[in-house]
Amino acid sequence: MRRKSLLEEGILFENNLVRVSKESNGDLFFEIGNEITTDISEAVAILMQKDSHNSEIWNFNVQGLDSVDPERSLYWLTGGHKEWRSLENYSRPWSACHLDFQEEFGILIFNIVKRSKKLKDIKEEFNRYLNLPNLYEFALSKKLIK
């Protein structure tokens, strides 16, 4: 985690929930509530849980950015802290099943980010292909759901 002073070098977007900053080395940082990430797909997955669908953040340009770790976004898309800390619906912890999700959906996440121009493009593709019913169906097939 980076110190707050480093994040204030170049604010590209800010509202009451999210701040997008650019460090002098070119790294983008998304601060969403208490979460900080440099991963574009993770930022979208977190925002999908926390932000209204008409926020201006969804028009943020991401074309040419490719900082992606599918495990991070899949964690949030499958329920995030609420699900993985309580294990209310899952039968195993995230550390024991994240590879199953990555093998099934990892390339799809890379491709979604690669062809997206704005954050809303990623969000729409996540809603289409990585929505909770699809992820739960996969988890059921792998016996990851109670």
Residue 98 lies in a domain: yes
Backbone angles phi, psi at 51, to 5 degrees: -105, 150
Residue 15 lies in a domain: yes
In a structure prediction context, what are the per-residue pLDDT tens digits for the chain, which is 146 residues long?
A: 444 444 446 899 998 889 999 877 777 899 998 999 999 999 999 999 886 667 889 999 988 777 899 999 999 999 999 999 999 999 999 999 999 999 999 999 999 999 999 999 999 999 999 999 999 999 999 999 98
Task: Count the domains in the chain.
Answer: 1
Residue 23 lies in a domain: yes
Residue 73 identity: S
Q: Identify whether the C-beta of residue 31 lies closer than 8 Å to the C-beta of residue 19.
A: yes
Domain that holds residue 93: 4-141
Q: What is the pLDDT of residue 124?
A: 96
Residue 38 lies in a domain: yes
List Cα–Cα distances, 138 to 10, 58, 113, 143, in angstroms.
Answer: 40, 28, 21, 9
Q: What is the pTM of this model?
A: 0.89
Q: What is the pLDDT of residue 9?
A: 60
Residue 146 lies in a domain: no
What's the angle, vertex CA 67, arms to CA 107 and CA 84, rounded to 5?
70
Q: What is the pLDDT of residue 52?
A: 65
Here the tokens at position 132 are 């909770």
